[in-house]
Structures are given as structure tokens and as C-alpha cells.
């Protein structure tokens, strides 16, 4: 892919992922035009005030719930990175139709607008919570994944191709537990729901660079899953607040003890590469199967979950990862 000759649009471009993606694009890839598509004019203003200003950069106000606005925004665009979503589990549970309108119907609008505008590549961000979901957020992201994978059939002979990237919790992203623990640290006590709880973890920059890699290597129809380390939430709390007492308060509704990135059923059509997995669509034999032969097919019963991982972060490693996030928090730059 020739980035310097491409027009790139990011939905949800003012979010944590969007800002890091824009930053890396401007510094390293230099696309011909780079479009921030989001619904919040204040966040766009704040981005510009924070230095996100460049001759190639455009700010486009719109909501993925609005199909006509998506169509207008996607005109002349070569690549769409779809990062817009409602992602807070309690908020989605309390406002279920809003989650469905944004995460499912909004994703459908992105797909339709991309096909209509002749966008070449569309990459959607997903989450470990889409695997065997037990809350509405995960269910909407699973539905969105299915939409993006199967929409390669809708595109037919047209050039538009769709793929997904699925990874775990992003360290320090908006809504992350890290700022929450940093705030609790001031009281001398932090709350953890269960001492056995584990999570996959990836840095914001790692997530962005993995998405860029997916863009460059996608065929359409696959789901890219990085190999990333796990940590216990208790170790995370100890890394952030080593002097604080830890209160175990019980698992909340819609929360899992361990997260899964590849289920046993998906493993049957998944190819393992050196540093990632590629999940091929089970339903389609005529698209998305290009990865067979490029890696190792997984054995029956394989399950990639945060508690059976072979990569683990200890307290010291966690501390080194969160150090810049802590610095931003103390300086008032985290928000």
C-alpha cells in the first residue's frame, strides 16, 4: 500500500486510538489527506489546540449513525479505519438501544458508505469482549465483526474489502482502569473485583501499529489477532499503588474472570503466524481463506485466553509500561 498517495479517514478520530493513529500517520506515513471523522466539535477543537494541525489534516463533523453524512465524508477516500464505538460496558447495559445504534447500525452505515464511495480498504477495530460475549457491548462488537466479515460478499466484484482487528485492553486509553487506579491511589485503597482476574494488555502504540500492519496485509474477510501478554488485575493494582490496600469487591454484572481472544470453535479455521493469529471466516470458502498455507493451522481445542497465555507481565514490567501514563496523569494531560 502506498500511504503517501492515499486518502485515509478515521471514524472516532478524536478518541484515544484515533489521536495516536493520526500522530503516527503524520510523523511516519504522510498520507495525501488524513480525515478525522467524529461527532464532537469540542474534541476536534481540543485536538487542533493540542497541535494536531497539518496541511493534509481535515476535521469532519459527523456521526456514523447518519448514513448520508458517512457517504459525503467517504467521497474520495481510499482507506477507512473504523474506531468509533460506544465501549463502556455499564453505559451500554443501561442504554442498550444507543449501543446498538452506534456499534451495529453505525457499522452497517460505514460498510454501505464505503462500498458506495469505492473505498478500497476498511479495517474495523474489535475487542476480546466480542468472543463468547456476556454483555451487550461484547454482543454489539460481535455483530459488527460479522457485518464486516460478510460484507466482503456484498462488495462482490467491487474493489472494497473489509477486515477486522481484535485485541485486548489498551493501557491508558480513555475508560481504562489505569487512571481509575491512579485516582484511587490517593485514598490509600484500590478496588479489584476478583483476585483471580486476568486481562490481555496492549499499549496504544502497539494497537495502532498492528492496525497499520493489518491494513498493509489484508485480503478481506479475516480477523487479525495479535499475540499479546496477560497480566493479573491484582498485579496491575500493586504496580500502580504498591502502598495501598486492595479491597476485593466481587465481579460486576457483565464482567468476565478471564478474557478470550480466540475461542475453541474459531480455532478450527485460524492460522497461527509468528506474532499473530488470523481467523478465517467459517461461513465463506470463496473469500478470506488466503492465509491457509502461510502459517500453522491450530489444533483442535485450542483456546487463546488471558489465563492460558504463555506471555505474562510481572509487576516491574507493568510499572515500566504505565510510567508514561502516570506522568501524563500527574501533569493533568490524561483525559
- All three cell numbers of 165: 482487528
Burial of 323 (0-12, 13-18, 19+ CB in 10 A): exposed
108 phi, psi to nearest 5 deg: -60, -40
Helix (H) or strand (E) holding 78, with range, is: none
Burial per residue of 75-98, b for 16 or more beta-carbon CB atoms within 10 angstroms, e otherwise: eebbbbbbbbbbbebeebeeeeee
Q: Could you give the residue numbers annotated as active site?
A: 129
Helix (H) or strand (E) holding 133, with range, is: none
CA distances from 224 to 67, 69, 123, 165, 167 (A): 27, 29, 10, 5, 8
Helix (H) or strand (E) holding 48, with range, is: helix 41-49
Q: Identify any residues that bridge with 165 across adjacent strands, giving them in sequence order.
A: 125, 224
Amino acid at each position: 500500500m502506498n500511504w503517501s498517495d492515499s486518502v485515509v479517514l478515521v471514524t472516532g478520530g478524536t478518541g484515544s486510538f484515533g489521536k495516536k493513529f493520526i500522530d503516527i500517520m503524520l510523523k511516519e506515513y504522510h498520507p495525501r489527506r488524513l480525515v478525522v471523522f467524529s461527532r464532537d466539535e469540542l474534541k476536534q477543537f481540543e485536538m487542533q489546540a493540542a497541535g494536531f494541525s497539518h496541511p493534509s489534516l481535515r476535521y469532519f463533523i459527523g456521526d456514523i449513525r447518519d448514513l448520508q453524512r458517512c457517504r459525503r465524508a467517504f467521497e474520495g477516500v481510499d482507506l477507512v479505519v473504523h474506531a468509533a464505538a460506544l465501549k463502556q460496558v455499564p453505559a451500554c447495559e443501561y442504554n442498550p438501544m444507543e449501543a446498538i445504534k452506534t456499534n451495529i447500525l453505525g457499522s452497517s452505515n460505514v460498510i454501505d458508505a464505503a462500498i458506495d464511495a469505492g473505498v478500497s480498504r476498511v479495517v474495523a477495530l474489535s475487542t476480546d469482549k466480542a468472543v463468547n460475549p456476556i454483555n451487550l457491548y461484547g454482543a454489539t462488537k460481535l455483530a459488527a465483526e460479522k457485518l464486516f466479515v460478510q460484507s466482503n460478499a456484498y462488495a462482490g466484484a467491487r474493489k472494497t474489502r473489509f477486515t477486522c482487528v481484535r485485541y485486548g485492553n489498551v493501557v491508558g486509553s480513555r475508560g481504562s482502569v489505569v487512571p481509575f487506579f491512579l485516582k484511587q491511589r490517593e485514598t490509600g485503597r484500590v478496588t479489584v473485583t476478583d483476585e483471580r482476574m486476568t486481562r490481555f494488555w496492549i499499549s496504544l502504540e502497539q494497537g495502532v501499529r498492528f492496525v497499520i500492519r493489518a491494513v498493509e496485509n489484508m485480503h478481506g474477510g479475516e480477523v487479525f489477532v495479535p499475540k499479546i501478554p496477560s497480566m493479573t488485575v491484582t498485579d496491575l493494582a500493586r504496580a500502580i499503588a504498591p502502598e495501598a490496600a486492595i479491597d476485593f469487591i466481587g465481579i460486576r454484572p457483565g464482567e468476565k474472570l478471564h478474557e478470550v481472544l480466540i475461542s475453541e470453535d474459531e480455532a478450527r479455521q485460524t492460522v497461527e503466524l509468528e506474532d499473530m493469529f488470523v481467523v478465517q471466516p467459517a461461513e465463506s470458502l470463496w473469500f478470506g481463506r488466503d492465509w491457509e498455507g502461510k502459517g500453522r493451522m491450530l489444533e483442535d481445542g485450542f483456546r487463546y485466553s488471558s489465563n492460558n497465555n504463555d506471555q505474562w507481565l510481572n509487576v516491574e514490567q507493568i510499572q515500566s509500561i504505565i510510567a508514561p501514563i502516570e506522568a501524563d496523569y500527574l501533569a493533568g494531560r490524561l483525559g
